[in-house]
Structure 1
Amino acid sequence: MSVIGNEFAKMRHLWIGPIAVVLPLGIAGVTAFRALASGMLGQLEDPDGFGWKILLAGLGLALSLISPLVIAVLSSRLVEIEHAGNGWMLSSTSGATPGRLCRAKFASLGLIIVAATVLQSLILITAGWGIGISSAFPAAHWTAFTVAAVTINLSVLAFHIVLSAKVENQIVCLGVAVIGVFIAVFAPALPGWLQFVTPWGYYELASAAAYVGTDLVYLDIPLLAILVLAVVSAGAFALITARFDRQEA
């Protein structure tokens, strides 16, 4: 806990908070803009729940566009300070090995990512009620989406912490994030195996609503696949950071 506390202390000097705010506000803003441009205000009383569907559809796209980049920036900034100030060596002398330090960074940033991801859903749900969507609130679909989004974001976070720890040039890490955005956005057009072997491909699986032909419908999120991603990501992160513990800082 003291190591995690140190990570939060470092964040105060790295603008982690203002950057993290971009995640819920940016995603909610893009989602709301897309929904309004799709004529949501004229269909607030649609009994089939057009308002909730269009918000969920836009939320899935906004998540793919914004989350990979913001998570990469947050990870890069919190890890880069160790490269710049020989922090790996300094932390090792106090008992915090590189692997332990990476796990502390994941825990501290993970709390922020979870809070931001839940907040983006709450902002849009509140906005939906506030503007007068009259159809029943689809709690199951919103809950499934939020759980899936949290899981995928944490998997991407784990990947970027490891990558930033191994590669000192953080421009490389941000470049990988840009590639991740392309994978996330264009996942439906990619071979199926590529969609499942990268964490960014799972953003498409988290879509809870989309157009099928001319009809806007709810989609069933494959929570089992998301669970597999969580298990694989957690196992890989644990193994890799354990190897960091056995290496010299």
Structure 2
Amino acid sequence: MSAKALVNEFAKMRHLRIWLLTLILAVLVIGIGLYGSAMLGPDFDPSSAGAWNSVLSASGFTLAGPLLLAVIASRQVDIEHQGNGWLMSATSGLTSGGLCRAKLLALGLLVTTATITVSAALLAVGLLFGVTAPIPAGRWIGFTACIVVVNLVILALHIVLSTRFENQLVGIGIGLLGTVLALFGNEIPTWMAHLTPWGYYALSTAAEYQNGALVGLTPSYASILGLGVVAATVFILFTGRLDRQEV
């Protein structure tokens, strides 16, 4: 994969308004999170030791992330199906697998930036709400890193689906199903959450209600790391197979 391929993907993003979709993702995540956050409740105490748990629980990734990531990947890949871009790339020396890797890298940079920006924005919101307790920096960074990994895994999944199926409704439909699975991730046993990539949003949780009280949690770092390794391996194998196929 060359730098030119990466530049071309960013050029396609501008044409496809991927930047706008990513901005919508960030705004929705913050808005949905704040709407259901304990920070807006009358019992919120910004001076309490657990005040940051209210901010950490204000993440709307489980609702907004799965579908919007599916749409972003679909738009970036569908342009190749519509304009015979696979063949054009092959004639210029870039294999279909290399093109998929370029798309993941370009979109991944955008999604990672958006995820980190959302995390920083939630931190700023907590300060604006007057939270004076020490910031749990380690847990906050860990939570952000876990969400980045899960978002990238789901993005890679949808790049694969969009490449494999020309009908982009397949990927969008799976994105809708992923939204449902992500929403119920905290309500199912932990072993079941491990079975789908969307369940790892629940495993990334850094704060949740237990017995009526909002408590801080340590994200399941080992599980998230395992997900990332498995997903990277599958994506490399899939794109490697594309490298050996004729367009």
Query: What TM-score comes out, normalization by structure 1 length?
Result: 0.94
Asked whether the equivalents of residues 49 and 136 of structure 1 are also in contact (C-alpha less than 8 Å), the reply is: no
Q: State the one-letter code of the partner of 2:91.
A: T
Q: Which residue number in structure 2 is paired with residue 8 of structure 1?
A: 10
Residue 123 (structure 2) pairs with residue 125 (structure 1): yes
Deviates more, 1:236-245 or 1:181-190: 181-190
Gaps of 5+ in 2: none
Q: Cα RMSD (Å) of the superposition? A: 1.3
Q: Which of 31, 38, 43 is the matching residue for 2:41?
A: 38
Distance 1:39 1:237 in 2: 47
Which 5+ residue runs of structure 1 have no aligned equivalent?
A: none
Query: Which residue in 1 is equivalent to 2:19?
Result: 17
Secondary structure in 2 matching 1:216:
strand
Post-superposition shift, 1:225?
0.8
Q: Of Structure 1 and Structure 2, which has the larger fraction of its residues in helix?
A: 1
* Residues 46-85 of structure 1: pairs in structure 2 closer than 5 A: 46=48, 48-50=49-51, 52-59=52-59, 62-85=60-83
Give the corresponding residue for 2:30: 28
> Aligned residues, how many?
244
Matches within 5 A, 1:110-189: 110-189=108-187
Give the 5 Å matches for 1:193-204: 193-204=191-202
**2:215 aligned with 1:217:** yes
1:109 pairs with 107, 111, 131, which one? 107
Q: In 1, distance between residues paired with 2:143 and 2:123?
A: 13
Q: Report the TM-score, using the length of structure 2 for normalisation.
A: 0.95
Cα drift, residue 56 of structure 1: 1.0
Offset of residue 69 of structure 1: 1.1
How far apart, in 2, do the equivalents of 1:180 and 1:101 lie? 25
For the residues of structure 2 that align with 1:111 and 1:76, how far apart are their CA atoms? Answer: 17
